């Protein structure tokens, strides 16, 4: 029997189906077009390169659902996804057949193995739904929001599965072919139904009913989809396909020029890819769970940032005609009413959100784009303003003279080469904090002594070095970043060197990803000839020196330590193993903290936060949370870091948490030196 | 030098300011060295009684008139010009304070006499006065002489000891009659500072905090220390600007001038405006990670460490010491 | 309103200051000049008043190293006009500087009307000869108040209400008729931030004006005998040791002085 062949309200089934289908399709298409048009009116961004790589991402992240497996419920989502794909496929098949009943093709569930697959998936999905509902109702994780939308989708999926399975059961019962086809559920249901006279007589009608419920539900869902958060079903595959292929540490990817420098305070000042984030977001909250700001009680929530940009886009973009201004439109202002300035300034740019996001949303570029707007209006706290003025005038965030940059060398008993005067093999770009912060200068000197001991041919640029600008760019002061980069490139251009080594991961990130050094930078930079990186972090250099036998240790340090992966070294640039090899070479016993490698927890200094006034009422700062984690890691009494800001933040945190007796904070260089030399006899 | 030395006394709301005595002390030394008469003039309304404290001068004069309660700098300059001409004054001393801002240059123009600002020291060498003035917030000093010791000098507050200008003596009074036009500038009223809970200028023990305290939460630490020492927390301008302490707790040129028995400075670098407010404290102990902080220049004892390393054990040490009794 | 702001550059004390070999002036090798902080506030106050009352702001400065940045920044902040007076003015005294500025008025480059307010920083760290604002007021025969921290204007009666800071937080309110000269100590809001990109954009779009002025006749006012660096007295006894040792030492010192 053909389920589409019914008569309802005097109309034949196929006609009804055409009407409903066209109506649903119409609603869906109109809305989708409107949304796509909004994207077209936003700023441009080139995400159309390297198609092969993009396809590869699509396969692993969309088809493979790769990033979802970090949480157990991800398995359920994998099932939902593939179940949905399969059911969508068979739905289309059914729809075509239903619209054109004269087509000489069977319905999908009339084909044995297709039907079997549908049944198996149906059961698995229902189990998944059951798990999701039980979790949602009885064991909700703290972060879970029990929204109407969520229940709607769970119900819809259930209806689809149940209507199919019941339809199968009724079908077998009506045809009285129990046991003849490979349909375990269908057969089971049919035998139950068959034994019940009330059902068995109306089986045929019920088959049809189930089919129509199924089709109408899908059509209804299709019409509803672009109005709900389930738009992510459509948008996220594109989001992934058009994901960022450039290094995460390169914020210049979205282009430059006045438009970008001025930032965004309105939807059409973002790029289409930035706006696509909102449509792709399924509000799973992984970003929030990973975010140190959320964890510490700052007003920021990465999820809400993405959400609010979307809501603003819909409010302002779909309102009346092309929005001229966001004020007086009846629409709320994005920055100010929907997103507060405090939220925007709370971000440390640690990348945890983007590293977790299953649909590859890009929260940080959104935040930085809005920060650029705030900077263009001078809307920032006094301390940050002063710091930016210092950076502009003196090239460092401390407000000290440029000529003081190399004063830290005065404690050394040898002279470091001046790259302004002679060529070197390694140009050591020291960085602000390592140069100017009195508490950190000894570590810098130790690093110099290690290089010297290893017979390294190295030099520094002395007063020619400026802050690399990494955090300046993340604050949104693009013009100042340009200026600092220009000055540094000038200094580098005139120097002769093979490689650059730096002690600060922030510097490392900027030089590696935002300075275009591997391209034409002039001045004898032959770093890439051997294929090796021309920018190194000092931990990579230590690793190399150890491997080459240039550093041999007098003794093994028997401490039990844990290692903190700095955000800009690990998560951003993938340098995880070299520091660990060094630690092992020193004879240290390394125990990982629960959050290690890509899950390392930010110390809270990044994104310019170390230059901002602290917000009152924060219960526990990210750095305090992290040192507690280190102190409670079994057997560990040293927390090792390899970033000056980390050292500074963690040392403070150890004091404010009163953990001085439990844990000590050391730089990797200090441990290397200890193993090379006699323990320092401090007065 | 032919004429006399004039000290222009400074007062606010019928109280003589310390700077007046500082000037009198310095003026007396110079006048004695040169054998010149020392005059003082007090300009205002109902201020005649104030002149009684200025006995160290040889001659005390008063210009007391109804509309002179808060005269504009131009008015004072005009009056002083008349005085200088009438009494044959060679050197005029004014205070380098907010109150006197503008008088020096205006008087200089009216009398065509040079004006020296920021004077922190005076000496007489063979009949010539050598003025030492500070520049650039005190980093650089310069020695200056006036032709025939004729001119106007502004003394930097706190650079000279006020004790040098106090005396029980009664000086001779002379009357003075100088016409003056009414000023275009009208004084309307005083605006009182926020009612502070404490007057830091009357405290024996002050714990000062600067930018090094880092955030509002850490102010508690300073308060704990202050409490155990029987003192009060005060701060430098940046701390008040941030809102971590009320304006009544500001120490410095624009805040209060304090002279406590103990001034313990936590994370205060010592900008000149701040130093001006506390430089005469009896015992100054700064704690600062920056060994180059200017405040160490006038400290009695100094600690080049992190305040968060020192203050908690210090609180314990003081408690222990007090508990011993 | 017509607001004229005179911007003074002073040596930047962040750099170490050295005396030149003639012992009469600063060594210029590493010397950097920076806008005098009260003048920065004067400019901010001018812009705030333009925003409140409308009108034009003119920023004027003598040529000096790094003055270009200052003038472009002034334009980027909202000044309508910027004028640079070329020449080598290093070490110029306040009365001579005021004389130069007053010739701008007498030559009509700067107009004074009953809507004019002249602002400058209340005092600069190199004001050995006194406050520029007061000299300027004297030469232009205009009323003057220094240490100003707030100004409002009644544009109909052409009267300004000026707030002057005394000490200890005490302030005075004064009524001053326009035109007048005010020495600004602090603007009503901290000086605004202008992004580097905006200043660079200014450099490409607008030019400041240059006006030649003849140096005024130098009258030897006083003889500067010698300039020298203040000796760091180094009298502070630095306490060293562990935090416990240091704290005990401090407690000892306090006990000795009867402070415990």
pLDDT digits (tens, 9 = 90+) for A405-421: 999 999 899 999 999 99
Predicted local distance difference test score (pLDDT) of residue C81:
95
Q: Domain coordinates of chain A in residue numbers?
A: 7-238, 246-376, 398-546, 556-676
> How near does any CA of chain C get to the CA of B290, in Å?
13
> How near does any CA of chain A get to the CA of B311, in Å?
12
Structure-token match 């159309």, residue found: A48
CATH code for A398-546? 3.40.50
| pTM for this model (two decimals) | 0.90
Element (H, E) at B43: strand B38-44
Predicted local distance difference test score (pLDDT) of residue A529:
41
On chain B, the residues whose CB falls within 8 A of the CB of A613 are 215, 242
On chain C, the residues whose CB falls within 8 A of the CB of B254 are 165, 167, 169, 185
Q: What is the span of the domain harbouring residue C77? A: 2-210
Phi-psi region of C130 (alpha: psi -120 to 50; beta: other; left: phi over 0): left
The number of beta carbons lying within 10 Å of the beta carbon of residue A277 is 25
pLDDT digits (tens, 9 = 90+) for B131-190: 999 998 777 899 999 989 999 999 998 889 888 999 988 888 988 889 888 889 999 999
| Of A118-127, A386-395, A476-485, C44-53, minimum mean pLDDT range | A118-127
CA distance A550 to A554: 13
pLDDT digits (tens, 9 = 90+) for C226-259: 898 877 666 789 998 999 999 999 999 998 888 8
Average pLDDT (B46-69) is 91
- Any idea which architecture A246-376 has in CATH? Orthogonal Bundle (1.10)
Q: Which of B76, B78, B93, B115 to mutate to test the interface with C (most CBs of C within 10 A)?
A: B115
Average pLDDT (C83-108) is 91
| Of A254-263, A340-349, A363-372, B218-227, minimum mean pLDDT range | A254-263
Strands C159-165 and C144-154: antiparallel
On chain B, the residues whose CB falls within 8 A of the CB of A652 are 308
More reliable by pLDDT, A203 or B142: B142
Phi and psi dihedrals of C7, rounded to 5?
Answer: -105, 125
| Percent of chain C predicted with pLDDT > 90 | 71
> How near does any CA of chain C get to the CA of B220, in Å?
19
Predicted local distance difference test score (pLDDT) of residue A484:
97
Q: Please name each of the domains of chain B with its CATH number.
A: 4-174 (3.40.50.620), 200-323 (3.40.50.1220)
CA distance A503 to A445: 11
Strand-pairing partners, residue A181, are none
CB contact under 8 A, A616 and B217: yes
Element (H, E) at B186: strand B186-191
- List all chains that touch chain A, counting a touch as 3 or more CB pairs closer than 8 Å: B, C
Average pLDDT (B84-99) is 94
Is the pLDDT at A331 greater than 60? The verdict is yes
CA C186 to chain centre: 10
pLDDT digits (tens, 9 = 90+) for C186-207: 999 999 999 999 999 999 988 8
The full length of chain C comes to 260
Q: Is residue C232 part of a domain?
A: no
Residue among C173, C222, C259 minimizing CB distance to B151: C222
Residue among C128, C172, C251 minimizing CB distance to B142: C128
CB contact under 8 A, B308 and A655: yes
- Same CATH topology for A398-546 and A556-676? yes
Under the banding of pLDDT at 50, 70 and 90, the label for residue B57 is very high
| Of A138-152, A627-641, B250-264, C74-88, minimum mean pLDDT range | A138-152
- Which DSSP string corresponds to B229-257? HT-EEEE-HHHHHTTSS-GGGBBSSSSB-
By C-alpha distance, the chain A residue nearest C34 is: A393
Number of CB pairs, chain B paired with chain C, less than 8 A apart: 263
Q: Is residue C35 part of a domain?
A: yes
Using CB atoms and an 8 Å cut-off, which of residues 31-70 of chain C contact chain B? none
CB contact under 8 A, B190 and C171: yes
Interface membership of C236 toward B (CB under 8 Å): yes
Q: Please report how many Cα atoms fall inside a 13 Å half-sphere around the Cα of residue C246, on the Cβ side.
A: 24
Residues with Cβ within 8 Å of A261's Cβ and at least 6 positions away in sequence, in order, are A372, A376, A478, A479, C195, C197
CA distance A609 to A387: 11
Phi and psi dihedrals of A595, rounded to 5?
Answer: -100, 100
| Percent of chain A predicted with pLDDT > 90 | 60
Structure tokens belonging to residue B139 = 């980093």
User: Of A643, A649, A606, which Cα lies nearest the Cα of A348?
Assistant: A606
- Any idea which architecture A556-676 has in CATH? 3-Layer(aba) Sandwich (3.40)
Predicted local distance difference test score (pLDDT) of residue B209:
94
Under the banding of pLDDT at 50, 70 and 90, the label for residue A223 is very high
Q: For the domain with range A7-238, which CATH number is right: 1.10.940.10, 3.40.710.10, 1.20.950.20, 1.10.1060.10?
A: 1.20.950.20
Predicted local distance difference test score (pLDDT) of residue B1:
59
CA distance C1 to C115: 5
Judge residue A485's burial from the number of C-beta atoms within 10 Å of its C-beta, 0-12 exposed, 13-18 middle, 19 or more buried. buried
Average pLDDT (A378-388) is 92
CA distance A400 to C254: 34
pLDDT digits (tens, 9 = 90+) for B229-264: 999 999 998 888 778 888 889 998 778 888 899 999
Predicted local distance difference test score (pLDDT) of residue A526:
37
- Which DSSP string corresponds to A266-322? SGGGSBHHHHHHHHH-----HHHHH-HHHHHT-S--HHHHHHHHHHHHHHHHHSSSS
User: Of C120, C101, C140, C168, which Cα lies nearest the Cα of C8?
Assistant: C120
Predicted local distance difference test score (pLDDT) of residue A83:
84
- List all chains that touch chain C, counting a touch as 3 or more CB pairs closer than 8 Å: A, B
Average pLDDT (A85-112) is 86
CA distance A185 to A172: 10
| Of A167-181, A362-376, B128-142, B250-264, minimum mean pLDDT range | A167-181
> How near does any CA of chain C get to the CA of B167, in Å?
26
Q: Is residue C172 part of a domain?
A: yes
CB contact under 8 A, B302 and C237: yes
Residue among A438, A613, A652 minimizing CB distance to B242: A613
- In this prediction the ipTM stands at 0.91
Q: How many domains, in total, are found in chain C?
A: 1
Predicted local distance difference test score (pLDDT) of residue A330:
55
pLDDT digits (tens, 9 = 90+) for C108-141: 888 999 999 999 999 999 999 999 999 999 999 9
Residues B23/B153, Cβ–Cβ less than 8 Å: no
Q: Is residue C105 part of a domain?
A: yes
CB contact under 8 A, A399 and C200: no
pLDDT digits (tens, 9 = 90+) for A286-309: 999 999 999 999 999 999 999 999
Structure tokens belonging to residue B60 = 């005390």
More reliable by pLDDT, C170 or A468: A468
Predicted local distance difference test score (pLDDT) of residue A594:
96
Predicted local distance difference test score (pLDDT) of residue A109:
79
Is the pLDDT at A520 greater than 50? The verdict is no
Using CB atoms and an 8 Å cut-off, which of residues 321-340 of chain A contact chain C? none
CA distance B68 to B84: 19
Under the banding of pLDDT at 50, 70 and 90, the label for residue A201 is low
* CATH code of the domain in which C163 resides: 3.40.50.620
A402 vs A392, A418, A421, A480, CA distance in Å?
A: 11, 15, 18, 16
Strand-pairing partners, residue C60, are C6, C83
Residues B263/B278, Cβ–Cβ less than 8 Å: yes
Q: Is residue C250 part of a domain?
A: no
By C-alpha distance, the chain B residue nearest C23 is: B142
CA distance A136 to A150: 10
pLDDT digits (tens, 9 = 90+) for A131-169: 888 988 898 887 777 788 888 888 888 898 898 888 888
Interface membership of C12 toward B (CB under 8 Å): no
CA distance A321 to A333: 17
On chain C, the residues whose CB falls within 8 A of the CB of A258 are 197, 201
B125 vs A157, B128, B130, B144, C230, CA distance in Å?
A: 102, 5, 7, 12, 21
Structure tokens belonging to residue A621 = 């700062």
On chain A, the residues whose CB falls within 8 A of the CB of C190 are 382, 385
By C-alpha distance, the chain A residue nearest C189 is: A382
Predicted local distance difference test score (pLDDT) of residue A664:
96
More reliable by pLDDT, B211 or C55: C55
CB contact under 8 A, A616 and B214: no
Structure-token match 């398995």, residue found: A75
The full length of chain A comes to 683
The full length of chain B comes to 325
Structure tokens belonging to residue B55 = 């006995």
A274 vs A68, A232, A364, B169, C137, CA distance in Å?
A: 22, 14, 10, 83, 57
Predicted local distance difference test score (pLDDT) of residue B275:
86
Q: Is residue C245 part of a domain?
A: no
Query: Dmax of chain C from CA atoms?
Result: 70
Q: Give Rg (Cα) of chain A.
A: 30
Structure tokens belonging to residue A458 = 């190295």
Is the pLDDT at B130 greater than 60? The verdict is yes
| Of A114-128, A340-354, C112-126, minimum mean pLDDT range | A114-128
pLDDT digits (tens, 9 = 90+) for A452-502: 999 999 999 999 999 999 999 999 999 999 999 999 999 999 999 999 999
- Strand ranges (DSSP E) for chain C? 2-7, 9-11, 33-35, 56-62, 81-85, 116-121, 144-154, 159-165, 171-177, 180-184, 209-210, 223-229, 237-238
Is the pLDDT at C15 greater than 90? The verdict is no
Mean pLDDT of chain A: 88
Q: Please state whether the peptide bond connecting residue A139 to the residue before it is cis, i.e. omega within 30 degrees of 0.
A: no
Is the pLDDT at B298 greater than 80? The verdict is yes
Is the pLDDT at A236 greater than 90? The verdict is yes
Chain B residues touching chain A at CB-CB below 8 Å: 214-217, 241-242, 289-291, 306, 308-309
The number of beta carbons lying within 10 Å of the beta carbon of residue B163 is 10
| Of A131-145, A221-235, B61-75, B216-230, minimum mean pLDDT range | A131-145
Mean pLDDT of chain B: 90
Under the banding of pLDDT at 50, 70 and 90, the label for residue C218 is low
């Amino acid at each position: 029997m053909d389920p589409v062949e019914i008569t309802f309200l005097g109309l034949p089934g196929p006609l009804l189906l055409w009407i409903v289908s066209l109506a649903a399709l119409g609603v869906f298409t109109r809305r989708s077009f409107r949304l796509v048009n909004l994207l077209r009116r936003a700023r441009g961004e080139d995400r159309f390169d390297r198609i092969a790589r993009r396809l590869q991402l699509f396969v692993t992240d969309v088809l493979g659902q790769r990033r979802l497996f970090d949480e157990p419920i991800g398995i359920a989502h994998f099932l939902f996804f593939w179940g949905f794909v399969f059911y969508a496929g068979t739905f289309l098949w059914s729809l075509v057949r239903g619209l054109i009943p004269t087509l000489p093709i069977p319905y999908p569930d009339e084909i044995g193995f297709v039907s079997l697959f549908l049944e198996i998936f149906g059961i698995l999905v229902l189990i998944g739904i059951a798990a999701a509902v039980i979790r949602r109702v009885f064991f909700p994780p703290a972060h879970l929001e029990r929204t109407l939308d969520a229940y709607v989708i769970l119900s819809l999926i259930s209806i689809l599965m149940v209507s199919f399975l019941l339809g199968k059961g009724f079908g077998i019962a009506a045809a009285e072919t129990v046991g003849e086809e490979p349909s375990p559920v269908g057969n089971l249901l049919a035998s139950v139904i068959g034994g019940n006279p009330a059902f068995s007589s109306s089986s045929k009608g019920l088959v049809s009913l189930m089919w129509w419920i199924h089709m109408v539900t899908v059509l209804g869902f299709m019409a509803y989809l672009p109005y709900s958060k389930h738009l992510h079903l459509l948008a996220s595959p594109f989001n992934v396909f058009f994901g960022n292929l450039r290094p995460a540490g390169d914020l210049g990817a979205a282009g430059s020029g006045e438009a970008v420098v001025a930032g965004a305070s309105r939807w059409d000042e973002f790029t289409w890819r930035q706006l696509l984030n909102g449509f792709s977001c399924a509000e799973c909250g992984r970003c929030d769970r990973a975010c140190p700001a959320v964890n510490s009680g700052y007003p920021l929530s990465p999820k809400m940032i993405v959400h609010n940009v979307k809501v603003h886009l819909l409010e302002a973009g779909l309102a009346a005609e092309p929005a001229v201004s966001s004020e007086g439109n009846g629409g709320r202002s994005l920055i100010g009413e929907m997103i507060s300035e405090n939220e925007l300034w709370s971000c440390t740019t640690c990348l945890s959100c983007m590293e977790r996001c299953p649909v590859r949303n890009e929260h940080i570029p959104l935040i930085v784009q809005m920060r650029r707007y705030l900077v263009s209006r001078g809307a920032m706290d006094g301390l940050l303003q002063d710091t930016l003025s210092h950076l502009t005038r003196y090239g460092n965030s401390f407000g000290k003279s440029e000529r003081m940059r190399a004063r830290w060398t005065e404690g050394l008993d040898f002279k470091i080469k001046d790259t302004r005067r002679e060529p070197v093999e390694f140009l050591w770009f020291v960085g602000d904090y390592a140069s100017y912060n009195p508490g950190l200068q000894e570590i810098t000197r130790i690093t110099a002594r290690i290089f010297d001991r290893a017979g390294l041919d190295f030099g520094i640029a002395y007063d020619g070095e400026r802050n690399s600008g990494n955090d300046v760019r993340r604050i949104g002061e693009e013009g100042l970043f340009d200026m600092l980069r220009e000055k540094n490139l000038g200094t580098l251009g005139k120097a002769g060197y093979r490689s650059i080594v730096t002690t600060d991961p922030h510097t490392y990130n900027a030089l590696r990803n935002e300075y275009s050094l591997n391209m034409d930078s002039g001045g004898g930079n032959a770093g890439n000839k051997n294929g090796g990186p021309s920018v190194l972090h000092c931990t990579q250099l230590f690793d190399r020196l150890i491997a080459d036998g240039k550093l041999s240790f007098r003794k093994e340090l028997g401490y039990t330590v844990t290692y903190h992966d700095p955000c800009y070294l690990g998560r951003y640039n993938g340098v995880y193993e070299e520091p660990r090899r060094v630690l092992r070479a020193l004879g240290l016993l390394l125990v990982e903290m629960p959050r290690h490698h890509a899950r390392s927890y930010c110390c809270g200094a990044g994104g310019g936060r170390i230059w901002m006034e602290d917000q009152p009422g924060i219960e526990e700062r990210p750095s305090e949370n992290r040192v507690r984690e280190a102190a409670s890691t079994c057997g560990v009494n040293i927390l090792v870091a390899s970033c000056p800001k980390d050292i500074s933040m963690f040392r403070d945190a150890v004091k404010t948490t009163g953990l001085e007796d439990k844990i000590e904070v050391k730089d990797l260089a200090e441990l290397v030196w200890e193993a090379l030399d006699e323990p320092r006899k401090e007065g | 030098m032919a004429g006399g030395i004039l000290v222009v006394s400074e007062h606010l709301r019928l109280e003589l300011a310390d700077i007046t005595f500082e000037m009198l002390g310095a003026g007396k030394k110079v006048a004695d060295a040169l054998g010149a008469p020392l005059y003082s003039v007090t300009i205002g309304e109902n201020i005649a009684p104030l002149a009684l404290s200025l006995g160290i001068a040889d001659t005390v004069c008063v210009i007391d008139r109804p509309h002179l309660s808060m005269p504009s700098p131009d008015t004072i300059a005009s009056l002083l010009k008349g005085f200088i001409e009438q009494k044959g004054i060679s050197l005029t001393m004014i205070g380098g304070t907010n109150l006197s801002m503008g008088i020096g240059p205006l008087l200089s123009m009216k009398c065509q006499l040079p004006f020296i600002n920021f004077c922190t020291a005076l000496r007489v060498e063979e009949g010539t006065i050598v003025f030492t003035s500070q520049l650039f917030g005190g980093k650089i000093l310069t020695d200056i002489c006036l032709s025939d010791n004729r001119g106007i000098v502004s003394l930097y507050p706190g650079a000279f000891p006020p004790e040098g200008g106090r005396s029980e003596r009664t000086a001779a009074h002379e009357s003075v009659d100088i016409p003056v036009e009414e000023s275009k500038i009208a004084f309307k009223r005083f605006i009182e500072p926020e009612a502070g809970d404490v007057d830091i200028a009357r405290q024996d023990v002050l714990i000062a905090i600067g930018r090094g305290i880092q955030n509002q939460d850490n102010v508690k630490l300073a308060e704990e220390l202050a409490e155990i020492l029987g003192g009060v927390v005060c701060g430098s301008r940046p701390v008040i600007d941030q809102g971590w302490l009320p304006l009544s707790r500001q120490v410095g040129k624009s805040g209060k001038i304090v002279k406590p028995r103990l001034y313990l400075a936590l994370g205060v670098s010592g900008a000149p405006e701040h130093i001006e407010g506390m430089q005469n404290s009896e015992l100054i102990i700064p704690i600062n990670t920056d060994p180059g902080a200017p405040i160490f220049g006038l400290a009695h004892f100094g600690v080049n460490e992190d305040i968060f390393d020192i203050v908690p054990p210090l609180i314990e040490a003081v408690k222990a010491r007090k508990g011993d009794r | 309103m017509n607001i004229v702001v005179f911007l003074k550059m002073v040596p930047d004390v962040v750099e170490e200051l050295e005396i030149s070999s003639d012992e009469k002036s600063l060594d210029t090798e590493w010397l950097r000049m920076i806008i005098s902080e009260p003048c920065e506030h004067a400019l901010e106050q001018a812009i705030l008043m333009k925003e409140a009352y409308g009108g034009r702001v003119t920023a004027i400065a003598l040529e000096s190293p790094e003055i270009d940045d200052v003038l472009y920044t002034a334009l980027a902040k909202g000044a309508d006009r910027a004028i640079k007076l070329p020449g080598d003015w290093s070490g110029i005294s306040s009365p001579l500087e005021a004389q130069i500025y007053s010739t701008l008025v007498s030559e009509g480059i700067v107009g004074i009307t009953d809507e004019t307010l002249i602002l400058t920083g209340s005092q600069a760290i190199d004001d050995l000869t006194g406050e520029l604002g007061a000299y300027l007021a004297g030469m232009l025969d205009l009323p003057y108040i220094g240490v100003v921290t707030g100004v409002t204007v009644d544009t109909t009666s052409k009267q300004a209400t000026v707030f002057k800071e005394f000490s200890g937080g005490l302030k005075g309110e004064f009524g001053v008729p326009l035109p007048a000269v005010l020495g600004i100590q602090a603007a009503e809001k901290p000086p605004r931030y202008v992004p580097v990109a905006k200043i660079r954009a200014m450099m490409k779009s607008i030019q400041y004006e240059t006006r030649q002025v003849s140096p005024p006749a130098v009258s030897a006012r006083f003889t500067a005998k010698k300039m020298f660096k203040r000796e760091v007295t180094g009298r502070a006894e630095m306490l060293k040791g562990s935090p416990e040792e240091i704290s005990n030492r401090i407690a000892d010192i306090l006990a000795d002085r009867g402070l415990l």
